[in-house]
A and B are shown apart, each in its own frame.
Chain A
Amino acid sequence: MQSRPAIVGVGRTKFGEHYGKEPEKIIEEAWLAASNECGVERKDLEACYMSDCFLPITNKLGLEEGFLSELTELHVPMEVTRSFSAALLTACHAIQAGVYNKVLVGGIEKMTDRWDKIRDDLMLLEDPWSYYAGGTPEANHELMLRAYIKKYNITGENLDKLNIALAQVAVKNHANATKNKYAQFQRKITVTQVLNARKEARKSLGLYDYAPISDGASALILTSDAVAKKLSDKPVYVLGCTSATDYLNYSAREELSRFVAVDLAMKNASAMAKTALPDVRVVEVCDQSTMMELVSLEDLGFYQPGTAWKSIYESYQNNQNCYEVNGRQLFVNTDGGLKANGNPLGATGGAQIFEIYRQLKGEAGERQVKVDNASPKHGCVLELEGFGTKAYVSILGEKKD
């Protein structure tokens, strides 16, 4: 990747319910935090990229760029995408092309304002035919789990271990979130709680297996390499950033036990970043459900298909907050993941980047992970739109060339 774009500052709000706040207030809070961090003034911005998945539906806002312009008092180019990673990808392209040197990337979602209708909206946007047939936002996750169990013929004791492994994903993410002041849930849960919730619901996945709906915003300042060096002594580079796409309708896809788009996006991002998988030690995956964390680790290539649950189960047995891949530690969703950190769709990817940025810079406080007694050098973010319909992979790290 020529002219690597660099992140020089990040900011975010707490995720959860922001009952009294307008969407503008939340995005303002996030972007001011990012600009404070790197001392970039609003008048320095050459363009803004903002994401929200469905603010026009939840908050009846049709032209989000307008309030962004009001907040920044800028009239520069501004574009809106559906996910933070999509905004970042577009911004990266602009910087690489040499069009801009300093841009704002932000994301916002305010889902609780439409609490009562949100599941219908989400489902209709994600996969209309499944919605028409009665599907819920949770149903596809449960079907994928069924497909996974059947494909890899997981039965008996192994099935129990898989179920515990999935519970462990939620337990680990909740534990991580207790060290994250921005996280939506700040309490620990136990494997028993997760299993009981499933039993109560008479379902394969229960309350504690799913990410919540959230309000929140996140932002970052992205610059060209030259500008980054002036603003920061240790910028975090976007080494690889790409996406891949799959069918809208899950049932029509070739593969039901994995996301082909994730596999593709990761391969392309790795090639772009010239980074080998073993070098990536901190990962933020899109755990809309515990099943998603499990399957994403396989789709990203960390585990062979059908095996990730074994390693997760071991982490449960050893009471660890990280997984093991070929003798190396892999830290996943150190901020609590979508499960506990929260999932305000358009802002989620920004929080994932925020976390990797902090980890790579050694600024993650209590959550800081160490690789060979130092901050990790590379991190990876996977963000999904829909149920695996779009997969965005961003690999962040030190510039090598």
Chain B
Amino acid sequence: MSSEPIERRVSYLGDRLRASRCQSCGKEYFEVRDYCSNCGRKSYGKMDSIDLFYDKGKLELCTYINEPTNKFTKLSSFIYGIISFHDGKIRVPGRLTDQLITAGGDVDFSSLEGREVVPRFRRRYSVGANDLIPTISLAFTLADEYYPHQEYNIITPTKEYDIPGVVGYGVYTSRFRIKEGGMERSVPFIDEDSATAAVEAGKLALIHSGVDNKLVGKVYVGSESNPYAVKPTAAKVAQVLKLGEEDGDVQGVDAVDTEFACKAATSMFKDASSLVSYPRSGIKYAMVIGADNSQAAPRGCIGGELDMFVGYGGAAFIFGKQDVIAEVEGWYSCTSDTPDFWRRDGEPFPMHGGRFTGDPAYFKHVRKSTCKLMEKFSLKPSDVNYFVAHQPNPQFPVRIAKELGFKEEQYLPSLQINKFGNTYSGCSPVGLASILDIAKPEERILIASYGSGAGSDAYLLRTTSQILDKRKRQKVNVKFQAENPFIEYVDYPTYRRLKTGM
């Protein structure tokens, strides 16, 4: 049994690594303090709130833990130590995550001391099936490895656009991959889930856009692997990323989870665009995140075919009308009650309609939305520079692209299924991000998502000159993660173990 108020307080401090600094003597404290213990009464009310969420720390001391306490047994063994921030002004305990330490051999942990580390938002430890899922950012990865440290600098916008669009985005996938056949798929570390990916993606989108987190008025999180049946992931994202005006421990932001199989996020692109355009909304920016620890039954079980294709990760897009990098020119969405893929409440793994997931489902809807949108804008396939389709497997997006008359140079750059697998709600958004990573100004991008059950959203985007300015702010782009030298490949049993989580 976990205590809900304790959980709330620990998460509130630990997810963001909230800290305090005395205005008079400069002493810093992990946790929120009302007064400084050096300066006493006179410092009351004169403590600055700081946090370590975007900081980088240094691993000062460490040791190796191979007999963890009960709640950490699923991590089996890990490096644990003391991390200092701000030249040792503040020290916190922490564990290194994203490390699979194999049995046997010597562990030379002392060489890790002095290395720079980045806080990562993760699950804290294992709990019972009915308990709240504890999270924390006292998990760290080495800054010179897969996930580098990046500063978050708020940038004052310089240009207002007539129509809304993407102002920044971020893609997050884990460090681990399973490689089978010609395909690599991202595998979460054991302390990751769709919520942690959503937060990481949102963090990267804020870094890329330079948007002030206080000005994000709404966040949508689309997923079909929400760790909870009831409890919004979006609330976690809003609190950890401090979206909207902060008032005490409440954020002035609207946050909502959406679900429509793999199009839960893309469906909201138009809502986000519309919201920031509505003159009386008062909302400057809206964030849409699609993230999934894509579920699949193990091979050999019913529904186990999905296990060949599922990945892990998420993408976050911030929509607004200032400093836009890709304007949303228009969209077309379609829906029908086609039951090609489903997961009953309480069931861990989804089922699918076999060959009926193709023609009457994926192809019919993607074709429909794309054709209608092109019709609406009187476009020929050659009028767009890039075509992005949902990628449930390596074959479907290629077949539909060809059928619609797109050429390889238009659809191949967005194909990320072979690098990360099908990240469900994050899938076509990751494809779109990979195009935004490379597109030149004034290029047109057509994206068509697909969500089982069934529907498709097609969007027409046009890039602006600002896409180039912002590109250098994001080191952790899609290619960086796909071709990272610190990727670690795991075997099938490890993949299933990590995916099942803590």
Choice from B64, B83, B93, B139 contacting A249 with Cβ under 8 Å: B93
The number of inter-chain residue pairs (CB within 8 angstroms) is 96
Give Cα A21 to B465, complex, Å.
79
B134 to chain A, nearest CB (A): 8
A290 to chain B, nearest CB (A): 15
Q: Mark B126-145, 1 if CB is under 8 A from A, else 0.
A: 00000000101011000000
> Contacts A129-B138, A136-B69; is A147 near B93 (CB within 8 Å)?
no
Say if the beta carbon of A133 comes within 8 Å of chain B.
Answer: yes
Q: Check B366 for interface membership: any CB of A closer than 8 A.
A: no
Given contacts A133-B80, A134-B75, A134-B80, contact A201 B66 (CB under 8 A): yes
Binary per-residue interface labels of chain B (229-260) against chain A in the complex, 1 for a CB within 8 Å, 0 otherwise: 00000000000000000000000000000000
Chain B interface secondary structure, helix, strand, loop or mixed? strand
Contact assessment for A202 and B106 in the assembled complex, using a CB-CB cutoff below 8 Å: yes
Q: From residue 291 to 309 of chain B, which have CB atoms closer than 8 A to chain A? A: none
Option from A120, A135, A204 in Cβ contact (under 8 Å) with B70: A120
Rounded to whole Å, the gap between the CB of A163 and the closest CB of chain B is: 13
Q: Decide: B61 and A256 in contact? CB cutoff 8 A.
A: yes
For window 75-96 of chain B, which residues contact chain A by CB distance below 8 Å? Answer: 75, 78, 80-83, 90-95
Cβ proximity bits A110-149 to B, threshold 8 Å, 1 near / 0 not: 0000001101100100011111111110110011001100
C-alpha spacing A123/B113, complex, angstroms = 24
Provide the residues of chain A in CB contact with B66, threshold 8 Å.
201-203
The listed residue (B61, B90, B94) touching A146 by CB distance below 8 A is B61
**Are the C-beta atoms of A123 and B62 separated by less than 8 Å?**
no
Rounded to whole angstroms, the CA-CA distance of A117 and B71 in the bound complex is 10
- Please tell me if A252 contacts chain B, counting CB pairs below 8 Å: yes
A135 to B80, CA, bound (A): 7
Report whether A134 and B95 are in contact in the complex, using a CB–CB cutoff of 8 Å. yes
The verdict on B489 contacting chain A, using a C-beta distance below 8 Å, is no
Contact B70 A134 (CB under 8 A): no
Please measure, in the bound complex, the distance between the C-alpha atom of A61 and the C-alpha atom of B444, giving whole angstroms.
Answer: 71
Cα distance A334–B435 when bound, in Å?
A: 73
Closest to A199 in B: B106
| Range of interface residues on A (Cβ < 8 Å) | 20 to 34
| Interface contact B63-A139, CB-CB below 8 Å | yes
How many Å lie between the Cα of A142 and that of B78 in the bound state? Answer: 14
**B483-499 contacts to A (CB < 8 Å):** none
Nearest A residue to B92 by beta-carbon distance?
A251
Decide: B80 and A256 in contact? CB cutoff 8 A. no
Q: Whose C-beta in chain B lies nearest to the C-beta of A146?
A: B61
Closest B residue to A144 using CB positions: B61
Mark contacts of A135-172 with chain B using CB atoms, 8 A cut-off: 1 yes-contact digit, 0 otherwise.
11011001100110010000000000000000000000
Known: A120-B71, A147-B61. A252 touches B80 (CB 8 A): no
Judging by beta carbons under 8 Å apart, are B63 and A146 in contact?
A: yes
Chain A residue contacts of B90, Cβ below 8 A: 252
Closest CB in chain B relative to A213 CB, distance in Å: 13
Contacts of A133 in B (CB 8 A): 80, 92-95, 136, 138-139
Interface string of A220-259 (1 = CB under 8 A from B): 0000000000000000000000000000011110001000
Chain B: number of interface residues, binned into ranges:
35 or more
Q: Which chain A residues lie closer than 8 Å to B64 at the CB level?
A: 202-203
Contacts of A139 in B (CB 8 A): 63, 65, 80
B30 at the interface (CB under 8 A from A): yes
**Of A132, A133, A250, A252, which is in contact with the most chain B CB atoms at under 10 Å from its CB?**
A133
Bound CA–CA A116/B91 (angstroms): 31
Q: Please, how many angstroms separate the alpha-carbon atoms of A116 and B14 in the complex?
A: 27
Assess the B69–A123 pair: CB atoms within 8 A. Answer: yes
What CA separation (Å) do A231 and B460 show in the bound complex?
97
CB contacts (< 8 Å) of A129 on chain B: these are 14, 30, 92-93, 138
Q: Which residues of A contact B65 (CB under 8 A)?
A: 134-136, 139
Whether B107 is near chain A, meaning CB under 8 Å from some CB there, is yes
A130 touches B63 (CB 8 A): no
CB of B408 closer than 8 Å to a CB of A: no
B124 & A132 in contact (Cβ 8 Å cutoff): yes
Pair B138/A143 contact, Cβ less than 8 Å: no
Question: Do the beta carbons of A132 and B14 come within 8 Å of each other?
Answer: yes
Interface string of B1-26 (1 = CB under 8 A from A): 00000000010001000000000000
A388 shortest CB reach to chain B, Å = 14
CA distance A128 to B91 in the complex (A): 15
- Chain B residues with CB under 8 Å of A250's CB are 82, 93
Q: Which of B428-467 contact A (CB under 8 A)?
A: none
In the docked arrangement, what's the CA distance between A202 and B68, Å?
14
Cβ–Cβ < 8 Å partners of A138 in chain B: 67
Which residues of B (396-451) have their CB < 8 Å from a CB of A? Answer: none
- With beta carbons under 8 angstroms apart, the residue of A132, A146, A256 that contacts B110 is A146
Query: Chain A nearest CB: distance from B178 CB in Å?
Result: 26
Contacts of B71 in A (CB 8 A): 120
Contact call B82/A143, Cβ cutoff below 8 A: yes
Interface centre among A116, A130, A138, A146 (most CB of B within 10 A): A146
B54 touches A (CB below 8 Å): no
Question: Do residues B63 and A117 form an inter-chain contact, with CB atoms below 8 A?
Answer: no
Q: Please tell me if the beta carbons of B63 and A204 are within 8 angstroms of each other in the complex.
A: yes
Closest-CB distance, B16 to chain A (whole angstroms): 14
- CB pair A143 B62 closer than 8 Å: yes
User: How far, in whole Å, are A204 and B125 apart by their CA atoms in the complex?
Assistant: 25
Distance in Å: Cβ of B240 to nearest Cβ of chain A: 16
- Complex: how many Å from CA A106 to CA B92? 37
B71, B81, B82, B91 interface centre (most CB from chain A within 10 Å): B82
Question: Which residues of B does A touch, CB under 8 Å?
Answer: 10, 14, 29-30, 61-72, 75, 78, 80-83, 90-95, 106-107, 110, 113, 124-125, 134, 136, 138-139
* A interface, CB within 8 angstroms of B: 116-117, 119-120, 123, 127-136, 138-139, 142-143, 146-147, 150, 201-204, 249-252, 256
| Additional A-B contacts beyond A133-B92, A249-B30 (4; CB < 8 A) | A132-B125, A133-B93, A134-B78, A251-B93
The 8 closest A-B pairs by CB, nearest first: A134-B95, A142-B63, A133-B138, A133-B93, A130-B93, A251-B82, A120-B69, A251-B91
